[in-house]
Amino acid sequence: MLKLYIGNKNYSSWSMRPWVLLRQAGIPFEEVLARFDSFDADSQFKATLAGISPTGKVPVLVDGDLTVWDTLAIAEYLAETYPDKQLWPQDKAARAQARSITAEMHSGFTALRGACPMNIEADLAPQGALLWRDKPAVRADVQRLVDMWGGLLTQYGGPMLFGAFTIADAFYAPVCMRLHSYGLPVPAHVADYVQRVRALPGVKAWIDGALAEADFREFEEPYRLHR
């Protein structure tokens, strides 16, 4: 069985992507939690990943003797291993679009990701209002999302970005968490997409797991002193 090493569900946006992809697609896997205690060389987190991840980071997918340690590489490996799951759109042009926006998520939106670290449990709307006022780069990243998602939802008719659920939706699921937690203003059709993503069984299972952790990590909490 596949084995996926992940970090805390409340904080680890990178872990969320392949976990949601696997769960939503109905691909069996074993979850292994590498809890965020610290990222120091002598931390339990690093000890858990020792000999598993060459980068010492999560997520990591293990399939027998094979280890895959990058989220996009994991997604591509799963798409090739389970072609019946149709994790990419079947149409060639749509597939190219989906790969493009997934790669954009993989390497972009640095202002939004830096200013608004994923925190599913917290209500950070007051902080989000200040960030929206003071951070034009955050506003620019959100506008790019609005333009991208709005165009795709119109082109493919929803409910997901390419009609049915794909890797692209899994990759943008943590962004949906950020928009929700920080209360960032988006048009109604984008807010509706965020709620549809949050309601997906695979995403809801991740959210439920995050809420059940009750694990406050100070270094992941720039805006709060306690839970």
When computed from its CA atoms, the radius of gyration of the chain, rounded to whole angstroms, is 17
24 band by pLDDT with thresholds 50, 70 and 90: very high
φ/ψ of 62, rounded to 5, equals -120, 125
pLDDT digits (tens, 9 = 90+) for 97-151: 999 999 999 999 999 999 999 999 999 999 999 999 999 999 999 999 999 999 9
Question: How many beta carbons lie within 10 A of that of residue 3, not counting itself?
Answer: 15
| Residue 9: both structure tokens together | 């569900």
The helix (run of H) or strand (run of E) holding residue 6 is: strand 2-6
Query: What domains does the chain contain, in order, with CATH numbers?
Result: 2-85 (3.40.30.10), 92-208 (1.20.1050.10)
Instruction: Answer yes or no: are the C-beta atoms of 162 and 94 closer than 8 Å.
Output: yes
Instruction: Average the pLDDT over each of 158-162, 184-188, 212-216 and give the range with the smallest value.
Output: 212-216
Pick from 146, 149, 140, 143: nearest CA to 97: 149
Pick from 138, 148, 137: nearest CA to 171: 148
